[in-house]
C-alpha cells in the first residue's frame, strides 16, 4: 500500500491556537534560560554539602574551646590570637614555605623544559609521553620508603654519591635544610611528569605556523621557546602555578612518611608542615578548636599566595610579550 504524502486538501496547515503558542514560547524560553543552571547544579549541590558546609563548620569550631570529652565553650577569636604567638605554628609555616619553594620552582621549570622536549618530533612519542606519568601512579608509601633509603645517613645512595666530591655524611632527617631538600626531591620526582603533560597539552594548541614564521625570520629554537611558546602558554602556566601552590602548601604525606610517621616532623620539628601541625592538634592533642584555627589560617595562606602567584606570573608573561 502506497503512502500518500501529498498535502491535505483544503490548502494551508491549520495554525495552533494563540494560547498554545504562548505556552510553547514560554517553555522554550525557560528551557534556554534554566537548562545551563540545571546541568551544573549537581556540582554546586555537592560542593555545598561536602565543601562549603565543612568550611563554615570548621570556622565555627575554631571559635570555640572544643575538646574530645565534654562540651564546647565559645571563646571568639582567642584561638587565632594564640596562633599568632605560637612558635610551633610559625615554625611549621616556615617549613612549609621552605619545602614549597625548593619543590615547586624547579619542578615547574623542569616540567616546562620536559614538555618542550616531548613536543618535538620523535619516535614512539606516546610511549615517552605516558612514561612521564609512571612516578604519579606509583604508591606514595613505596616512593617514601625508597627515598628514605636513598637519603639514609649511613648507607644512602645520596651520601655515597656526595662522598666522591669530598662531602661528609649528611644526616638528612636531622637537619632542617637537608630534610627540606629530601622532601622536595620526593615531591619533584612524583609531580614533574604530571605537570609536563599539562604544559604539553598547552603547547600542542599553539599554531605551527607561528614557529615556521619565526624560523623564517631567523629565530633559533631557544628564541622561539621564549618568544612564542612561553607567552602563548601563559594561561596554562598560571593554572599549573596555582594548582602547584595549593598542593605545595598542603604537604602532608611526603614529610610524614619521610619522618617514619612521626607527626612532629623530627625531634626539633625540622620538617613539620602546617598540615601536620593541624593534624597533631586536632587528632593527637584533641584540641579541635585550635586545630580548626590552624586549618583556617592555612586556607587563608593558600588564598593569598595563589593570588600573588597569579599576579606575578601574569605580569612576567606580559613582560615576555
pLDDT tens-place string over residues 154-209: 888 888 888 888 888 888 888 888 889 999 998 999 899 999 999 999 999 888 88
User: Can you say whether residue 46 is alpha, beta or left, with left for phi > 0 and alpha for psi between -120 and 50 degrees?
Assistant: alpha
The three-state secondary structure class of 208 is: helix
What span, in angstroms and rounded, lies between the C-alpha atoms of 201 and 42? 28
Rg of the chain over Cα atoms, rounded to whole angstroms, equals 28
Pair 116, 61 in one domain: no
In a domain, 147, yes or no: yes
Question: Cell triple for residue 65?
Answer: 574551646
Pair 206, 64 in one domain: no
pLDDT tens-place string over residues 58-108: 999 999 888 767 678 888 899 999 999 999 999 999 999 999 989 988 999
Pair 260, 273 in one domain: yes
User: Can you say whether residue 261 is alpha, beta or left, with left for phi > 0 and alpha for psi between -120 and 50 degrees?
Assistant: left
In a domain, 260, yes or no: yes
In a domain, 18, yes or no: no
Question: Cell triple for residue 159?
Answer: 651520601
What span, in angstroms and rounded, lies between the C-alpha atoms of 242 and 309? 7
Pair 70, 107 in one domain: no
The three-state secondary structure class of 67 is: strand
Pair 64, 118 in one domain: no
- pLDDT cut 70: percent of the chain above it: 92
Pair 181, 214 in one domain: yes
| Spatial CB neighbours of 62, under 8 Å, sequence gap ≥ 6 | 79, 80, 289, 290, 292, 293, 295, 296
pTM of the model: 0.79
Q: Rounded to 5 degrees, what are φ and ψ at 127?
A: -60, -45
In a domain, 130, yes or no: yes
Output helix, strand, coil percentages for the chain, rounded to the nearest 5.
70, 0, 25
Q: Tell me the residue range of the domain where 41 lies.
A: 27-74
The mean of the pLDDT values for the chain is 85
In a domain, 4, yes or no: no
Pair 189, 153 in one domain: yes
pLDDT tens-place string over residues 235-269: 888 888 888 888 888 889 888 888 888 888 888 88
Question: Cell triple for residue 171?
Answer: 644526616
In a domain, 85, yes or no: yes
Amino acid at each position: 500500500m502506497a503512502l500518500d504524502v501529498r498535502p491535505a486538501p483544503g490548502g494551508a496547515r491549520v495554525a495552533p491556537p494563540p494560547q498554545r503558542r504562548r505556552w510553547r514560547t514560554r517553555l522554550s524560553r525557560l528551557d534556554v534560560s534554566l537548562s545551563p543552571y540545571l546541568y551544573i547544579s549537581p556540582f554546586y549541590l555537592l560542593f555545598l554539602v561536602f565543601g562549603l558546609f565543612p568550611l563554615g563548620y570548621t570556622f565555627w569550631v575554631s571559635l570555640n574551646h572544643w575538646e574530645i570529652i565534654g562540651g564546647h565553650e565559645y571563646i571568639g577569636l582567642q584561638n587565632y590570637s594564640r596562633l599568632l604567638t605560637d612558635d610551633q605554628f610559625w615554625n611549621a609555616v616556615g617549613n612549609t614555605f621552605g619545602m614549597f619553594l625548593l619543590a615547586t620552582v624547579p619542578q615547574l621549570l623542569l616540567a616546562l623544559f620536559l614538555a618542550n622536549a616531548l613536543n618535538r618530533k620523535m619516535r614512539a612519542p606516546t610511549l615517552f609521553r605516558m612514561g612521564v606519568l609512571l612516578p604519579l601512579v606509583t604508591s606514595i608509601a613505596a616512593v617514601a620508603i625508597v627515598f628514605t633509603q636513598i637519603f639514609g645517613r649511613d648507607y644512602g645512595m645520596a651520601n655515597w654519591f656526595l662522598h666522591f666530591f669530598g662531602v661528609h655524611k649528611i644526616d638528612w632527617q636531622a637537619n632542617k635544610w637537608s630534610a627540606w631538600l629530601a622532601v622536595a626531591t620526593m615531591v619533584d620526582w612524583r609531580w614533574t611528569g604530571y605537570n609536563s603533560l599539562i604544559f604539553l597539552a598547552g603547547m600542542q594548541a599553539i599554531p605551527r605556523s607561528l614557529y615556521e614564521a619565526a624560523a623564517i625570520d631567523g629565530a633559533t629554537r631557544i628564541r622561539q621557546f621564549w618568544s612564542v611558546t612561553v607567552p602563548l602558554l601563559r594561561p596554562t602556566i598560571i593554572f599549573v602555578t596555582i594548582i602547584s601552590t595549593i598542593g605545595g602548601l598542603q604537604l602532608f604525606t611526603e614529610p610524614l612518611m619521610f619522618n617514619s610517621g612521626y607527626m612532629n616532623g623530627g625531634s626539633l620539628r625540622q620538617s613539620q608542615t602546617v598540615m601536620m601541625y593541624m593534624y597533631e592538634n586536632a587528632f593527637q592533642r584533641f584540641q579541635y578548636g585550635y586545630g580548626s584555627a590552624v586549618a583556617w589560617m592555612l586556607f587563608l595562606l593558600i588564598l593569598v599566595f595563589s593570588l600573588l602567584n597569579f599576579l606575578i606570573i601574569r605580569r612576567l608573561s606580559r613582560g615576555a610579550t
